[in-house]
Chains A and B, each alone.
Chain A
Amino acid sequence: MKNKKLLSLGLAVSMVFTMTGCGSNGDGGDSGSSKNTEVPTIDKIKLGEDYKDLKADITILTDRTDIVDTTYKGYAEKFKETYPNINVTYEAITDYAESVTLRLTNGDWGDICFIPDSVEKSEFSNYFIPFGDHSVLNNTYNFVTEKTYDGKVYGIPNGGTAGGVAYNKKVWKEAGITELPKTPDEFIKDLQLINDKTDAIPLYTNFSAGWTMGAWNDYVGIASNGDPDYKNNKLLHQKDPFTKNEENSGPYAVFYTLYEAVKQKLVEEDPASSDWESSKKRINDGEIATMVLGSWCVNQFKDAGKHPEDIGYMPFPITIGDKQAAASGGQYAYAINNKASADNQIAAMVYVKWLLEESPIFDDEGSIPALKGKELPESLSEFDGVELLSDNAPAEGEESLFDDIRNTAEVLSGDYPVTEVLEAALYGKKSLDDLMKEWNQKWTSAQESYSVEITG
């Protein structure tokens, strides 16, 4: 009897201790034998020279479940040749954006992650350490502006994409199209030609995957008006941004392209049962002529079948004045955990620098390199004469305003608003002008709720 009591007492005590153990875990990170306490900025590190004796195990979270055990593991091994004491482990997460948003809130998630879009700029310093000052890093790297807050860079993208349209060159040629379209109406006319002369589906919307519809929002920025200030600084203050203009450019033109294509039945017969995975092979085989997606898709389309040479990538068909423009933007940006130990933070910083400057990641993914001065990938060769611009930083104090407004307005945010455009055209219940009028109203009321000044 007594023994039992003792046993239970012991059990209770041990349970209490394990619980306190959990409690102190959070700040126990840097209690090891760390010598380095000062974490350098990324521009100060000399690859292959500094920190060669640093010992650390770092974990990096990624969304690329498909290549985590092949390509990415290869990077980690190659990195080890220069830095033998740093072990890099990749952890692939399927439902990346949502799970990481939740995991960020407790500091125990690893050392490097891609910043999910849901983290607002003002929150960066709660989760990540800065890579350095924007004024310095902006000279070395592309796309750092997107993840900058208060002059500090918290994330550097692992490459950039250009916004355009993927197409099957062979099908377009068969339809007798020799010159790429430059306006929405030319584009629709070309789709009609493809419909008449070939068996291919002129434009595959990939409606049922959802995010593929959300991709249309990306063209509202630079592609629709050629102004790098538009998305972050002008759209917010614009009165009724979705109104039609004479030139047929601007946000209206983007959604006009989709609406007309659907209305004239130049898309797949049953968008509700479209399928993303098989569509990659079908555009490769020439069963699909066109898809509107960022340039990251090009390599995937090429890999999906036997005709990689048929896949082309053209700018979005909107002309402003006499020029076309394309947005080039960063992909997911690397960021480093501010709750990791100093040693791990340094090791992570070194690894990120190595990935950006010495790994073959940009060739592998066909993306625009983050390091300035590197050559454009071959897949973007048709962007000759097209201005490649990236969005300028928002004005001070308005860093998260664009997100706030589009989330409140529920326009330009996520996939659903674009599916509304397709449904309106498909069922013919609502004209595009009516829908855009609704969007203007939503936009205005969101602007009012944040008391934004209307300037133009």
Chain B
Amino acid sequence: MAGSGNNAGQQTFAQKFASRKVQRYLVIVTFMFVPLLLLLVFTYVPFAKMVQFSFYDMKYIGARHFVGLKNYVDVFKRSDIFGSLFVSVYYMGGAVLQLALALFFATMMVFKVKGESIFKATMFFPYLVCGIAVGFIFKFFYARGYVLDTILTMFGMDPDNIPLWLQDQKINNFSLVATSVWRYTGQNMVLFLGAMMSVDTDLYEAASLDGANKWHQFRYIIMPSIKSIIVLNLVLSISGSLSAFEPPYVITNGNMGTGTYFVIMNRLAHENQRVGLACAMAIVLLVIIIICTVAQKLFFKYAFNDGTEDESKAAVKRKKLEAKKKGGA
């Protein structure tokens, strides 16, 4: 490019090779090669294989038969598979509650409370415990006559009135969702808190001088500043709740009507060796997650508007109008 343009047109290969442009590409390619290779080998190739498998009737080993779209038809026709998506609704409800709680606690901590770091650490701690261990903790927590039952009887509840937390189909999904809320609230809170820290504290002072109470400060200062983090967390929790796996798998093994989509997928793939069907399920789930994510993005763009965008839009409109006027004059 700039450094070697003296006798353009007659460059030897060596000169070309030494030129800055080529060298720059070389450096870029060399540095990108390893990560791209890893990405390709461990993400895209397996994914392409999965798409391919979803059109076959196959086991892990043994012959494969091409069956076209039959697996996809089965995903939508079988009540156990499609019904399991409704179990995810519980987890979505849990996700919303979890974000609200996290936002609440994070806001409390932004306004200087006593023992802030202890609270923060205690709330964040569950996230550090591995999901399988959390499952086992709660398996015993909910078991008949164990932790939860004991606590409730201590507070004077009649043991005969305590429901079977994991067996009663009216409440067992709530029990499971509660474990995942318990686990992730702290992590969401820390994320929110991190974003809130970047808000200039002078703004709170200025706002309170103008007579804004804490709610106003939250609504008009904090919320707009951390909007992108809220959206991100919501997207992550909704897609996470569609793919909820650990609590039902460890605690109830997906029985008693608690089987989420992933648990059913795991069962079909590993117990019945219906790999093709499980791959089709995975792809259907991917599509559902994409749809959910896009829908949320759109929702936040149009429905959950903090007003600032209107201003800037209005400003753009005004400028355009002015330009028109000038042009017209």
Residues of A within 8 A of B (CB): 98, 101-102, 104-105, 118-120, 122-123, 207-208, 210, 269-273, 275, 400, 407-408, 410, 413-416, 419, 423, 426-427
Contacts and interface: CB of A to CB of B under 8 A. Distances in A.
Interface in B141-162: 142-144, 146
Nearest to A207: B255
Contact of B61 (A105, A210, A416, A427): A105
A408 B58 CA distance: 11
A271 B316 CA distance: 65
Chain A, interface SS category: helix
B60 A272 contact: no
Interface stretch (B41-49, B223-231, B266-274, B300-308): B266-274
A265 B148 CA distance: 24
Contacts, number: 74
B180 interface: no
A273 B169 contact: no
Interface in B20-72: 59-62
A272 B167 contact: yes
A408 B71 CA distance: 12
A269 B168 CA distance: 12
Given A272-B172, A273-B139, 6 more contacts: A119-B61, A271-B167, A272-B167, A273-B142, A414-B267, A414-B271
Contact of B144 (A120, A123, A269, A413): A269
Contacts of A102: 60
A415 B256 CA distance: 13
29 contacts: A102-B60, A104-B61, A105-B61, A118-B59, A118-B61, A118-B273, A120-B61, A208-B139, A208-B253, A269-B164, A270-B144, A270-B166, A272-B256, A273-B139, A273-B142, A273-B143, A273-B146, A273-B164, A275-B143, A400-B62, A407-B59, A407-B272, A407-B273, A408-B274, A410-B272, A413-B272, A414-B272, A415-B253, A427-B169
A270 B256 contact: no
B62 A120 contact: yes
B255 to A, nearest CB: 5
By size class, the interface of chain B is: 20 to 34
B61 A423 contact: no
B252 interface: yes
Contacts of B142: 273
A273 B166 contact: yes
B272 A272 contact: no
Contacts of B144: 269-270, 273
Nearest to B166: A272
A358 B267 CA distance: 40
A270 B143 contact: yes
A414 to B, nearest CB: 3
A123 B142 CA distance: 44
A118 B60 contact: yes
Contacts of A207: 255
A325 B144 CA distance: 37
Given A275-B143, A414-B272, A423-B256, A270 B60 contact: no
A208 B252 contact: yes
Contacts of B164: 269-270, 272-273
A416 B252 contact: no
A154 B146 CA distance: 48
Contacts of A416: 255, 267, 271
Interface string B122-144: 00000000000000000110111
Contact of B252 (A272, A275, A415): A272
Contacts of B61: 101, 104-105, 118-120, 123
A207 B143 CA distance: 13
Contacts of B166: 270, 272-273
B46 to A, nearest CB: 14
B255 A419 contact: yes
A208 B62 CA distance: 31
A271 B144 CA distance: 9
Contacts of A98: 270
A426 B271 contact: no
A410 B80 CA distance: 12
Contact of B271 (A271, A273, A415): A415
Nearest to B169: A427
A423 B257 CA distance: 9
Contacts of A104: 61
Contacts of A414: 267, 271-272
Contacts of B256: 272, 423
A102 B270 CA distance: 12
Among A208, A271, A419, find the residue whose CB has the most chain B CB atoms closer than 10 A: A208
Contact of A210 (B62, B253, B257, B273): B253
| Closest CB pairs A-B (n = 4) | A414-B271, A273-B143, A272-B166, A270-B144
Contacts of B273: 118, 407
A189 to B, nearest CB: 26
A272 B62 contact: no
Contacts of B140: 273
Contacts of A271: 167
A415 B272 CA distance: 10
Contacts of B172: 272
A267 B30 CA distance: 65
Interface string B254-265: 011100000000
A152 B140 CA distance: 48
Contacts of A273: 139-140, 142-144, 146, 164, 166-167
